[in-house]
Amino acid sequence: MARVVRFHSHGGPEVLRIEEIAVPSPGPGEVRIRVRALGLNRADALMRNGTYIETPSLPSGLGLEAAGFVEAIGEGVAGFAPGDAVSIIPPRSMARWPAYGELVTFPAEFVVRHPPSLSFEAAAATWMQYLTAYGALIDIAHLCRDEPVVITAASSSVGLAAIQIANRIGAVPIAVTRTSAKKTALLDAGAAHVVALAEDDLQARLRAIAPQGVRVVLDPVGGPIFTPLAAAMAHGGILIEYGGLSPEPTPFPLFEVLAKTLTLRGYLVHEITGDPARLQTAKRFILDGLASGALRPIIARTFRFEAIAEAHRFLEAGEQFGKIVVTV
C-alpha cells in the first residue's frame, strides 16, 4: 500500500485527496520508484480543473514530475537497479502514469539517472522546464550565439530555464514580466534585460534593445501582447507559443506576419519527449548543463506531501519565482 493524490471530481485544490492504494509490481519494461520529491506544473492544475488537453476517467491521479530511488524493475529493463537515484521525463498522459504518490511506476524510457550532485528536490524540478525550453529554443528555433531572444512569463520555471539555456549558448535573453518587482531576481538569474509590461512600452523597449528586431520569441501567454511582440520581431522571425495564460483574446497580427514573413508556431513538449532521437539529444544537452552548473533549477517554494492542496493554491496564485516542489 502507498499514499497517492487523487481527485474524484473536477474543481479547485480542495478536491485533491490523499488516499492509500495497492501499487502493483512493475510490468515488463517498467520501473517502480520510491518518490522523494514531486515537481508541480500548471498542467496539473488544468487537469484537476477539467480544462487540460487530457480528460481522465475519475477518480484520477495526476502529476508529471518526480524524483526518488528505484525500488523495483520489471522484466526486460536494463540500465537501472534498485537503489538508483532517478527522476522522471514527463509522459504524454499523467492519468496513465501519475507522479503524485509515494510509489509510482513509469516506463523505463521515461526514467533518468540524474547527476549525483542534484538533490531530489532539484531533480523533480528539472525535466519539464528544461525540455520545454530546449525544444523551443534549440531544437525548433535554432537560437544562435549573440542573438537576442524574448522570453515572456520569465519568472516561471520554463522562463528561467530558457534564460539559462540562452546564456549557455551565448545568446542574449530578454526577460518580460508583469511588473518590476522581480527585476533584480531576473537579472540575478541571468537575464540581460528585463521589460515590465505594466510599466514599459513593450514594443518600444524591445526595439531599443534590439533595433534590428528579435528573431525568436518564446511565449506562454498569448492575448494582447501578440501585437507588440510581432511589431518588434525581425524579418523571418518565429514566435513559439506553448501556453495560453491570458484570459483575453489573442489578436492575429496579420500585416506584421505578411510584411516580415513571420512564423507563429504552436508547441508542446511532447514533440521532444515523443521522439526518441530528439529526446536523447535533449537529455544530453540538459545533463551536461546540470553537471557543469550552467543549468541550475530554481525552486520557488517547497511543500510537504500532506499540504498538496496548499501547494496547488500557491501554484494558481501565479506569484512564484521558479518551480514549486513537494517533498514526500
- C-alpha dihedral, 145 to 139 to 267 to 243, nearest 10°: -40
The CATH number of 2-126+297-327 is 3.90.180.10
At 244 the pLDDT is 87
pLDDT of residue 319: 86
Contacts of 316 (CB under 8 A, 6+ apart): 13, 45
pLDDT along the chain (328 residues), means of 10: 96 97 93 97 95 92 97 95 96 94 96 92 97 98 98 97 98 97 97 96 97 97 96 98 92 96 96 96 96 96 98 93 97
What pLDDT is stored for residue 151 in this prediction?
98
Q: Where are the domains of the chain?
A: 2-126+297-327, 129-270
Nine-digit cell string for 234: 525581425
Q: What is the pLDDT of residue 65?
A: 97
Report the side by side order of strands in the sheet with 214-219. 193-196, 172-177, 148-151, 214-219, 233-241, 263-266
Half-sphere CA count of 101, side-chain side, radius 13 A = 26
Cα torsion for 239, 293, 324, 139, to the nearest 10°?
Answer: 30
Q: Would you list the DSSP string of 272-313?
A: HHT-HHHHHHHHHHHHHHHHHTSS-PPEEEEEEGGGHHHHHH
Q: Which amino acid is at 178?
A: R
Q: Which helix (H) or strand (E) holds 271?
A: helix 270-273
CATH of segment(s) 129-270: 3.40.50.720
- Angstrom CA distances, 246 to 18, 222, 310, 324, stand at 31, 6, 23, 21
Integer-rounded Cα radius of gyration of the chain? 20
Cβ contact 46:29 at 8 Å: no
140-145, long-range: CB within 8 Å, 24+ apart, which pairs?
A: 140/238, 140/240, 140/265, 140/267, 140/271, 141/215, 141/216, 141/218, 141/238, 141/240, 143/169, 143/171, 143/216, 144/169, 144/171, 145/169, 145/170, 145/171
| pTM (2 d.p.) | 0.95
In angstroms, the CA 172 to CA 293 distance is 19
pLDDT at 24: 85
Contacts of 246 (CB under 8 A, 6+ apart): 221, 222, 223, 224, 225
Using the structure block, give the residue that is written with the C-alpha cell 522523494.
36
Phi, psi of 45 (to 5 degrees): -70, -40
